[in-house]
Structure 1
Amino acid sequence: MLVDLLLGGICALMWLPLVTGYCAQSYGRSFWLWFALGCCFPIVSFFVLFGLIYRTERDPGNHLVEEARRILAEAEAHEVEPFGD
């Protein structure tokens, strides 16, 4: 019974760092860095990360950069060999 409670407590404590790390990785940041920050400062790191994500999403220049990356990736995928000798 004690082992079950201990395992349940560990899972409950790791939920917020895992979510923080996953969100960080999905936005191009280091999973392990944000997971460690989430373990040390669970609530603070969660709100700091979402503040950074919000700031990034509100920047109109970021949307243009993402669109340019998408266009370049499509162009590289359909790249045709140049006229050769």
Structure 2
Amino acid sequence: MFIDILLAFFCALSFLPLTTGYCAYSYGRSFWLWFVLGCVLPIVSFFILFALLYRKEMDRGYQLLAEAKAILASAEEKAKSVKIEDQE
């Protein structure tokens, strides 16, 4: 019974650092750095990471870059479909 409680406590304790590390990695940041920060400062690192990501997403330059990437991706798709139609 004591082992089960310890295992459940460890799983619950590792949830926030894993979530913080995964979110950091999905936005191009270091997984291990944010995982360690999540272990040392669980709640604080979570809010710091999301504040950094929010600031990045709300930056007008980043929004324009994302729009430009979407336009280029759609133009490449159209070019590929036109090329395929020309081959047929």
Specify the TM-score bucket, using the shorter chain as the normaliser.
0.7 to 0.9
Deviation at 1:57, TM superposition (A): 0.9
The AA in structure 1 aligned to 2:13 is L
TM-score (norm 1): 0.78
For the residues of structure 2 that align with 1:58 and 1:78, how far apart are their CA atoms? Answer: 29
Deviation at 1:48, TM superposition (A): 0.3
The equivalent residue for 1:35 is 35
How big is each residue's C-alpha offset from its partner over 1:21-55, in whole Å with a ceiling of 9 and x where there is no partner?
11111111111110110001001100100100110
RMSD: 1.9
For the residues of structure 2 that align with 1:36 and 1:72, how far apart are their CA atoms? Answer: 37
How many aligned residue pairs are there? 81
Q: Equivalences for 1:8-19 in 2 at 5 Å? A: 8-19=8-19
Mark the runs of 5 or more structure 1 residues left unpaired by the alignment. Answer: 80-85
Mark the runs of 5 or more structure 2 residues left unpaired by the alignment. Answer: 80-88
Deviation at 1:71, TM superposition (A): 5.0
Percent identity, aligned pairs only, is: 63
